[in-house]
């Protein structure tokens, strides 16, 4: 990267004789990040990467998609070694990556975490850390304060020890999590809290949000769309909320409703796949982002199944140019509902979800279809016709989901009534 000015750097003002030193234009982060993406010009550039440092974790959360026991010998033996990660970090930076997420499992279980973190920073990457916070020490907080990450996100499963530890499965983990949060906050680090909401802690969401804001003074977000485990187990779905419960949480948050409506209005802007067919992958995976698992396999994202590309045997550039480019060239099924559905931004459906839950990357996950349609109807959004669909007019479950939407609106005190045909003008979505 030497020899090139940083993105966002302004020109040197050579016309001002009072300037003895070059001057740089400063930008706010939003405009700078937009400029970085615009410079990519729609090309396949690996701007954002994720490295799962481990899948081992000191918590035992039932909803998690990838946690293994902290001392799992097989997992430990298979993980990338420090020097292997150093090489990959150099290759990642050379490929044009700007943003890097270090995640797990629990990243702080790795004894070489600080070495890996410093190497990522040395390579000029904007590093975000995902951790449960329970292993944060005063020394770690000091080290991070001396070389600040772009962001740190900690998951808070409850506002009480009872609820938090019902999720984490580890006595004392609530206290240790809060100690970690406070240590990082005391050092002025860029800290955010989040929660994965499931049947074990949904009753405390309001309390978690209030606790984050009033007790800790930190920003907070949540997600309730759980998926199956990356090893194929459906166990996390045992504690997944029903679609009606997910949307009830949405409706209770005016800002969340506003954001979902704005998301639904944005054009999808998906390029055609091979021979004009709808592409299977419509996300950024393999186009602007990538993930590396603990064993060094390159994938489109952390949820992607399959063998991936072995970075121990090849380079990141080879994996990006060969393996992930082939993945991006895959076409959706010719009769795919997802390819025509304008509600995709409301459901989170992707090939990885289809493969994990249904065993087929082209198979829609019914849970996500129901969430998307229920969100649209309960928030009085227009639903464009998108072909045969159980939840649209003419579909076998259309009347059922309209009733569910009306119950939700009454329960949450929203005014209005769900129209019987919540469609924009266009062709019918009736089943053949």
CATH number of the domain where residue 93 is located: 3.20.20.70
Asked if the structure places residue 174 within a domain, the reply is yes
Are 366 and 246 within one domain? no
Q: Is the pLDDT of residue 6 over 70?
A: no
The whole-number pLDDT of residue 270 equals 52
Distance set, CA 388 to CA 207, 337, 393, 432 (Å): 41, 7, 9, 7
Average pLDDT for 402-415: 85
Are 82 and 216 within one domain? yes
| Full residue range of the structural domain in which residue 341 is found | 337-411
The whole-number pLDDT of residue 420 equals 46
**Of 242, 260, 256, nearest in space to 202 by CA:** 242
Are 268 and 348 within one domain? no
Are 216 and 69 within one domain? yes
Please count the other Cβ atoms lying within 10 Å of the Cβ belonging to residue 127. 23
Asked if the structure places residue 131 within a domain, the reply is yes
Round the CA-based radius of gyration of the chain to a whole number and report it: 23
For residues 432 and 429, give the distance between their C-alpha atoms in angstroms, rounded to a whole number: 9
Average pLDDT for 324-349: 85
Are 100 and 237 within one domain? yes
Are 204 and 312 within one domain? yes
The whole-number pLDDT of residue 317 equals 97
Are 272 and 354 within one domain? no
DSSP, residue by residue, 142-164: HHHHHS--SEEEEE---SSHHHH
Using the structure block, give the residue that is written with the tokens 């009480």.
160
Phi, psi of 91 (to 5 degrees): -70, -40
Q: Name the average pLDDT for the chain.
A: 88
User: Which of 300, 327, 354 is a domain's end point?
Assistant: 327
Q: Is the pLDDT of residue 109 over 70?
A: yes
Asked if the structure places residue 320 within a domain, the reply is yes
Asked if the structure places residue 181 within a domain, the reply is yes
User: 215: helix, coil or strand?
Assistant: helix
Q: Is the pLDDT of residue 122 over 90?
A: yes
Q: Is the pLDDT of residue 134 over 60?
A: yes
Are 295 and 211 within one domain? yes
Are 238 and 117 within one domain? yes
Give the pLDDT confidence of 143-192 residue by residue, as tens digits.
Answer: 999 999 999 999 999 999 999 999 999 999 999 999 999 999 999 999 99
Asked if the structure places residue 332 within a domain, the reply is no
Are 107 and 181 within one domain? yes
**Contact at 8 Å (CB) between 215 and 379?**
no
Q: Is the pLDDT of residue 274 over 60?
A: no
- How many domains is the chain partitioned into structurally? 2
Percent of all residues in the chain with a pLDDT value above 90, rounded to a whole number: 71
Banded model confidence at residue 265, pLDDT cuts 50, 70, 90: confident
Asked if the structure places residue 25 within a domain, the reply is no
Query: What are the residues facing 193 on neighbouring strands?
Result: 154, 220
Distance set, CA 198 to CA 190, 251, 425 (Å): 26, 17, 37
DSSP, residue by residue, 70-94: TT-HHHHHHSPPHHHHHHHHHHHHH
Percent of all residues in the chain with a pLDDT value above 70, rounded to a whole number: 87
User: Which of 292, 327, 362 is a domain's end point?
Assistant: 327
Phi, psi of 184 (to 5 degrees): -65, -40
Asked if the structure places residue 8 within a domain, the reply is no
Asked if the structure places residue 29 within a domain, the reply is no
Q: Tokens for 243, please give them.
A: 């679609």
State pTM to two decimals. Answer: 0.88
Q: Tokens for 396, please give them.
A: 């076998």
Are 150 and 288 within one domain? yes
**Of 315, 292, 316, nearest in space to 53 by CA:** 292
Are 249 and 277 within one domain? yes
Banded model confidence at residue 128, pLDDT cuts 50, 70, 90: very high
Environment class of 269 (CB within 10 Å of its CB; exposed 0-12, middle 13-18, buried 19+): exposed
User: Which of 327, 359, 390 is a domain's end point?
Assistant: 327
């Amino acid at each position: 990267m030497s020899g090139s000015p940083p993105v966002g750097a302004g020109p040197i003002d050579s016309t001002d004789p009072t300037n003895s030193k070059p001057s740089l234009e400063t930008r706010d982060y939003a405009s700078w990040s937009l400029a970085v993406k615009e410079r990519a010009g729609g090309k396949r550039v690996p701007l954002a990467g994720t490295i799962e440092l481990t899948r081992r974790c000191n918590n035992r959360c039932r909803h998690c998609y990838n946690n293994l026991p902290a001392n799992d010998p097989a997992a430990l033996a298979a993980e990338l070694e420090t020097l292997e990660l150093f090489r990959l970090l150099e290759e990642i930076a050379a490929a044009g990556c700007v943003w890097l997420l270090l995640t797990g499992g629990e990243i702080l279980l790795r004894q070489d975490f600080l070495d890996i973190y410093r190497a990522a920073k040395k390579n000029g990457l904007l590093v975000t850390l995902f951790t449960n916070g329970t292993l944060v020490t005063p020394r770690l907080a000091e080290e991070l304060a001396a070389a600040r990450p772009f962001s740190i996100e900690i998951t808070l499963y409850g506002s009480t020890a009872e609820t938090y530890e019902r999720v984490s499965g580890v006595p004392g983990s609530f206290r240790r999590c809060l100690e970690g949060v406070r240590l990082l906050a005391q050092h002025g680090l860029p800290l955010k809290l989040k929660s994965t909401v499931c049947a074990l802690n949904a009753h405390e969401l309001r309390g978690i949000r209030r606790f984050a804001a009033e007790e800790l003074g930190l920003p907070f977000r949540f997600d309730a769309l759980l998926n199956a485990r990356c090893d194929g187990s459906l166990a996390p779905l045992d504690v997944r909320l029903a679609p009606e419960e997910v949307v009830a949480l949405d409706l209770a948050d005016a800002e969340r409703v506003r954001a979902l409506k704005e998301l639904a209005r944005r054009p999808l802007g998906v390029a055609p796949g091979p021979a004009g067919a709808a592409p299977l992958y419509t996300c950024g995976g393999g186009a602007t982002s990538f993930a590396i698992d603990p064993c060094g396999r390159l994938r489109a994202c952390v949820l992607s199944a399959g063998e991936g590309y072995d970075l121990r045997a090849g380079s990141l550039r080879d994996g990006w140019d060969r393996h992930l480019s082939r993945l991006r060239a895959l076409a959706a099924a010719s009769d795919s509902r997802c390819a025509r559905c304008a509600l995709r931004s409301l459901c989170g459906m992707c090939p990885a979800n289809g493969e994990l839950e249904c065993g087929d990357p082209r198979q829609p996950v019914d849970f996500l279809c129901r969430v998307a349609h229920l969100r649209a109807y309960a928030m009085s959004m227009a639903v464009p016709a998108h072909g045969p669909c159980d939840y649209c007019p003419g579909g076998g479950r259309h009347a059922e989901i309209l009733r569910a939407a009306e119950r939700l609106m009454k329960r949450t005190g929203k005014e209005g009534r769900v129209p019987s045909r919540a469609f924009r003008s266009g062709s019918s979505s009736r089943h053949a």
